[in-house]
Amino acid sequence: MLTNVMDYRSKFSNSQLKALVFDAYGTLFDVHSVTSICDQLFPEHGAALSRVWRVKQLEYTWLRSLMGHYKDFWQVTESALVYACRDLNLPCRPAMCARLMDAYLHLEPYPEVRHALNALADYPLAILSNGSSRMLHSVVESAKLQGVFSLIISADEAKIYKPSPRVYDLVPRKMGLDKAAIGFVSSNYWDVAGARAYGFWTCWVNRANAPGDELGFTPDVIVNTLTELANVVKPLWI
């Protein structure tokens, strides 16, 4: 596993990476920025609601993929919200549900995102996310990141969710690059493991200093913020 610039430079040639692809939720955009609206609607329950909502959202993507009963990410997210409210004994009236779902279209980017993406602008940048196309374009527009990404790719095109290789395979086909020339960046270890198994170079953004999952695949680089990623890959185009 490589965790510093010198190790990275010693292993890879200057032509190794041709593009960088980012997960959206939890990597570029803070899914728990919905906590404030959760707290407004359900005082003292905001953090718990956000946490259960996110856990169940991810779980439903995996379960639906395994079951072969795909629903798009908007529907999955709404189902997860309904479950989370029921689990916490909170009312989920239609108007409340609509406000909470709308918050997912306006998630806050992490503080370093704009600066880091600007520092990486010599690479073609793309998003690959489980989010539906409408959700992804809305959150990018809300964060004023229009024009930063050459492609915004949704798992909806494959009708299955990450970490299925069918989702990662959308990237080289759309970008016209060999998968070994693509770097994939995610804060979700399971996502990094899936991308690494597929054949991408991978970077895990480990903001929480969490242990890695035991899935048999490890990231090429681990960073705490996207700013550190810019410092790692910059030597490839100097």
Which residue bears the tokens 């570029």? Answer: 28
* Spatial CA neighbour of 163 closest among 125, 215, 224, 207: 215
Beta strand 19-22 with 182-186 is parallel
DSSP structural state of residue 14: T
DSSP 3-state assignment of 30? strand
What is the CB neighbour count within 10 angstroms for residue 31? 22
Q: Is 102 a residue of the active site?
A: no
For residue 24, give every residue at least 6 positions away whose Cβ sits within 8 Å of its Cβ, in sequence order, or none: 127, 129, 131, 136, 139
* C-alpha span between 62 and 132 (Å, rounded): 16
* C-alpha span between 104 and 126 (Å, rounded): 20
Q: Which of 7, 23, 72, 178 is catalytic?
A: 23
* Spatial CA neighbour of 205 closest among 220, 226, 191: 226
Structure tokens at 100: 């909470």
Catalytic residues: 23
